[in-house]
Chain A
Amino acid sequence: MGRFGFVLRRLSHTLPMLLGIVLVVFLLLHVTPGDPARNVAGLRASEQELDQVRADLGIDEPVYVQYASYVAGVLHGDLGYSYKSKEPVAGMIGKRIEVTVWLLGAALLMTAVIGLPLAIVAARRNDRLADHIIRVACLFGLSMPAFWVGAMLLLLVALPTGWFPAGGFGDDTAAHIRSVILPGLTLAIGMAPVLIRSLRTNISNTLDQDYVATARSIGLAERHIMRRFVLRNAASSSITLVAFEIGFLLFGAVVVESTFALPGVGQGLVLSARGRDLPAIQGYTLLFAVAVVVVNLIADVITAIVDPRVEITT
């Protein structure tokens, strides 16, 4: 059964967890002030009219009733309709997912492209100048707020050169690529240092091992050593790290999408939260939760496959 059973077990934990998350969001939004009926009925509506809107939207029902009907809807694939604009939530979110996937893909790619080589250099030149320079660079990357970095990149790179758009997502694939480079870089600047730190220790430890020395003395090329021993071990810990960082990535997406005018789910969440558009907020919450769970699961499975030393436990 082994790995398959592991996946099944994890999935069986997942469903109650997702239900739990949606319930918490439900309750939270229920107790926060800010009346969605007001947003729908308009600023001049009277109290009776607001009551009528509440009845129409079904928000005058007790919380557990609303929750139950929402869950029932989700299981049928119905995520409800935006209170204000009456758009179907699934459609709203669907349009935005693509943008965020591009953004996060670019961010992860750049994190790897920046982080891997630097981590290797830092590990091999341990405690020498290159290592210290990289360390300090990491500090900078970690200590700069994402919105500030984004604004700087726009002012100093995008606007003067015109190579990158000042914002937006573009209409075709080439435009999409150009539009996620700077935002992805902004996120990568925050994430790469974390990767570098963790990998550096990992790689440096591996390089110290006896079997590496043996391999070297046999005459194996450095490149092969890297690929065979080092990267394999590094892969599992970096994947775990990425999975752990997914929360940071999603929060970063909120900030970066706002700074670069990318119409992704981060921006969508901010807009729905402002308007107390409960069905939309719940839709995004569900999406975030599913994303985190799935990423964690995949990470665990890949780690188990790649690094056979790791035991599969719940």
Chain B
Amino acid sequence: MRTRTLAATLALVLVAVACGGDTAATTTAAPAATGTASAGGGTLTVGRVESFDGWNLDSAAAYATYQTHPAVLEPLLRFAADGQTVEAGLADVWTYDEATTTWTFTLRDGAAFSNGDPVTSADVVFSHGIWSTGFNFGGSFAQIAEVRAVDDRTIEFVMAAPDSILPALLSGSVAGVMPADFAGMTEEEYYADPIGAGPYAVAEWSSGGRIVLERNPHYYDPDRPYYDQVVIEIVPDDNELARLFEGGEVDIVNYVSIATAGQYDDGDLLVTPPSQVSHLSLNATRPPFDALAARRAVAAAINYDSIVDGPLAGYGSSPTGILAPNLGGWAAPTVPYYATDLEAAASELAASSQPDGFTVELIYDAAAGTDALLAQIVKANLAEIGIEVTLTGLETLAFLDRAFTVDADMVLWSYGAISPDISDPLGWIGGTGYLFTGYDQTAFGEQRTNYLTAVSADEKLAAIQLIQNEAVEQAVVIALAVTPTVHAVSPELTGFAPAPWGLYYFDTIRPG
């Protein structure tokens, strides 16, 4: 009896192995793409590590979310792959009137929601009401004094001051256009089952599981999207994600971590221009880092080359300031960046109030593999000048708790942009208490306002340079390296066009 059951089980297993699925025995070299062949149709499979935050546009925190939202809730404009210019989205004409400081947007023909309703200016006005009252990003819309519907297809944004960045702001995923009054649903019902005017509609979703998007039959462009369906798989282990890619079960892997990049074939990786800043933030509100000398000692003691050529080898570049590069409006500081000089560091420390060194705590996000390596390098570097660093790797939420309350001596993290203008990182820097340091933001805030309201390119440049210079001179936030975002793409695909910070649109991808 036992033998028979055993044989039956084995037979069952063999049958399942033999006839199930589409992954026939392949060589390890080329991954088989799942969305191929015919003109129009098929499924694109995307793999990610991060969970999805849900369909409330304002509560987006993960790149995974910023990247998924516009596929369903398309904003008025879209960002170009160069990361610096904007293109038409739901609106195809936008003009600025200096005299009245008013932007006028015109909705394009054919823009329609997935339920068939055309997109009208009433929808835009309603959506703006939601965006500007959001907890997370509401403040970004502060410069908009009033929003008016001129007619069914034209909307006016009256700005409080001269403005040049509204288009960039409106190309961000946060500014997705929603139907007026949530198409008759309550806000909660809407977020469970959203309706948008983007290339795709939601078939099913889960925050930690898979998301299935299906073609929006009413999308304004008949040539896009190519794929009928996009399936997004969330796989928390990035080593496993690499294996899935190699096995041909996902076509695209977003935000491959640098530590895992070695597991992919070089030819499958797409590396964007550097756009993420890894930074070491020093607590400026209390000893020992309330003293400039101590901070400058740290800045001079860190071996930037060993960071860029070590764990970030092939991907990292040396930092040149605290602002994320490759964005519209970026400028380098005009003062030289720190050079690794242990003697200078030691003498700075000797001249400070604690010449014998001290012990401090460094907190980092334990989930970020590269951060763990960077933290260990910092610890080793600072030990050379007598600063003892205790490393505390924290779980992400616990880490953010302490970081936002400026509770630790040193904080190590990284950030990047989500829209094509430097005003985006400026908002992030300001909103985090100047990158978790508690540093006095008066000068920074002033220059930020100057940038937002500046009219000429020279004025903008000046404001940014002042911000960068102050940061370098004060050494409160020490940029350790600049890194790109890395993505794995099946060679059978074309049209994958991410901006430097890694966000892209599904509807430009096709086989080829």
| A–B contact, 8 Å CB criterion (strictly below) | yes
A52 to B59: give the CA distance in the assembly, Å. Answer: 14
Name B249's contact: one of A95, A165, A177, A276 (CB within 8 Å): A165
- Give Cα A36–Cα B28 distance, bound, in whole angstroms: 43
Q: How many Å from the CB of B48 to the closest CB on chain A?
A: 11
- Which of B230-238, B266-274, B301-309 is the interface stretch? B230-238
- Interface residue stretch chosen among A41-49, A58-66, A201-209: A41-49
Residues of A within 8 A of B234 (CB): 263
Q: Is A218 an interface residue when CB atoms closer than 8 A count as contact?
A: no
Across the interface, name the chain B residue whose C-beta is closest to A168. B249
Question: B443: which A residues are within 8 A, CB to CB?
Answer: none
Q: Which residues of B contact A275 (CB under 8 A)?
A: 51, 397
Residues of A within 8 A of B15 (CB): 174
B123-131, B286-294, B326-334, B399-407: which lies at the interface = B399-407
Given A82-B207, A165-B249, A177 and B20 touching (CB < 8 A)? yes
Chain A positions 136 through 155: 1 when the CB is less than 8 Å from some CB of chain B, otherwise 0: 00000000000000010011
A178 touches B136 (CB 8 A): no
**Residues A274 and B395 in contact, CB atoms below 8 Å apart:** yes
In contact, A84 and B240 (Cβ under 8 angstroms): no
A44 and B427 contact, Cβ closer than 8 Å, known pairs A160-B28, A177-B12, A259-B237? yes
Report yes or no: A167 in contact with B396, Cβ–Cβ below 8 A.
Answer: no
Bound: A260/B235 CA distance, A: 9
Q: A87-B192, A177-B20, A258-B237 are in contact. Are A42 and B206 (CB under 8 A)?
A: no
Asked if A193 CB lies within 8 Å of chain B CBs, one says no
Count of B interface residues, CB-CB < 8 Å: 65
* Distance, CA A72 to CA B400, complexed state (A): 33
User: Is A214 positioned at the interface, with any CB of B under 8 Å from its CB?
Assistant: no
Residue of A nearest to B134 (CB): A42
A95 in contact with B209 given A159-B247, A165-B247, A178-B21 (CB within 8 Å): yes
B135, B192, B402 pick with most chain A CB within 10 angstroms: B135
Residue of A nearest to B239 (CB): A151
Chain A nearest CB from B320 CB (Å) reads 25
Are B397 and A38 neighbours in the complex by a CB distance under 8 Å?
yes
A276 and B400 CA atoms in complex are apart in Å by 12
Residue contact A33 to B247, C-beta cutoff 8 Å: no
Contact yes or no, B401 A33, CB < 8 A: yes
A173 to B19, CA, bound (A): 11
Whether A166 lies near B243 (C-beta < 8 A) is: yes
Interfacial residues of chain B within 238-276, with CB under 8 A of chain A in the complex: 239-241, 243-244, 246-247, 249
A34 touches B401 (CB 8 A): yes
Q: With an 8 A cutoff between CB atoms, is A290 at the interface?
A: no
How many angstroms from the CA of A161 to the CA of B24 in the assembled complex? 9
| A271 surroundings in chain B (CB, below 8 A) | 51, 207-208, 236
Q: Which of B15, B17, B207, B249 has the most CB of A within 10 A?
A: B207
Q: Which partner residue on chain A sits nearest B1 by CB separation?
A: A227
Query: Does residue B6 face the partner (Cβ distance < 8 Å to A)?
Result: yes
Q: Is residue B359 contacting chain A, with contact meaning CB distance below 8 A?
A: no
C-alpha spacing A175/B15, complex, angstroms: 11
Contact of A154 among B60, B206, B236, B243 (CB under 8 A): B243
A35 CB-CB contact with B under 8 Å: yes
> Chain A contact residues (Cβ within 8 angstroms of B): what range?
35 or more
Supposing A44-B428, A161-B25, A178-B16 touch, asked if A167 and B240 sit within 8 A by C-beta, the answer is yes
A172 interface contact, C-beta 8 A:
yes
- Which residues of B sit under 8 angstroms from A32, Cβ to Cβ? 398
Contacts of A268 in B (CB 8 A): 208
Cα A41 to Cα B134 with chains together (Å):
9
Known: A162-B26, A274-B397. A42 touches B59 (CB 8 A): yes
Known: A38-B400, A174-B20, A271-B51. A181 touches B395 (CB 8 A): no
Closest to B12 in A: A177
Q: Which residues of A contact B19 (CB under 8 A)?
A: 174
Please tell me if A253 contacts chain B, counting CB pairs below 8 Å: no
Q: Are A178 and B6 CB-contacts (below 8 A) given A34-B401, A35-B401, A261-B235?
A: no
**A165 contact set on B, CB distance < 8 A:** 21, 23, 247, 249
Interface string of B200-236 (1 = CB under 8 A from A): 0000001111100000000000000000000001111
Known contacts A165-B247, A167-B244: A86-B54 contact under CB 8 Å: yes
Say yes or no: is A229 at the interface (Cβ < 8 Å to chain B). no
Q: How far is it, in angstroms, between the C-alpha of A163 and the C-alpha of B24 when the chains are bound?
A: 7
Q: Is the CB of A79 closer than 8 A to any CB of chain B?
A: no
Taking the closest CB of chain A, its distance from the CB of B250, in whole angstroms, is 9
Contact B210 A263 (CB under 8 A): yes
Please tell me if the beta carbons of A85 and B53 are within 8 angstroms of each other in the complex: yes
User: What is the bound-complex CA distance between A85 and B402, given in angstroms?
Assistant: 24
CA distance A156 to B398 in the complex (A): 37
B28 touches A159 (CB 8 A): yes
Distance, CA A49 to CA B139, complexed state (A) = 12
Known A33-B398, A38-B401, A258-B237; judge A168-B244 contact (CB<8 A): yes
Q: Is A73 an interface residue (CB 8 A)?
A: no
Query: Is A164 in the interface zone, CB < 8 Å from B?
Result: yes
- Nearest CB of chain B from residue A229's CB, rounded to whole Å: 15
Cα distance A158–B240 in the bound complex, in angstroms:
12
Residue numbers in B under 8 Å from A46 (CB-CB): 135
Taking A38-B401, A96-B209, A167-B244 as known contacts, 7 extra A-B pairs with beta carbons closer than 8 A to each other, sorted by chain A number, are A86-B188, A159-B243, A161-B25, A175-B21, A261-B241, A263-B209, A271-B207
* A-B pairs, 5 with minimum CB distance: A42-B136, A174-B20, A166-B247, A85-B54, A85-B207
Chain A interface (Cβ < 8 Å from any Cβ of B) = 32-36, 38-46, 49-50, 52-53, 82, 84-87, 92, 95-96, 109, 113, 116, 151, 154-155, 158-168, 170, 172-175, 177-178, 181, 227, 258-261, 263, 267-268, 270-272, 274-276
Q: Report 7 cross-chain contacts, Cβ distance below 8 Å, ordered by A residue.
A: A46-B135, A92-B207, A92-B209, A95-B206, A109-B9, A167-B240, A178-B20
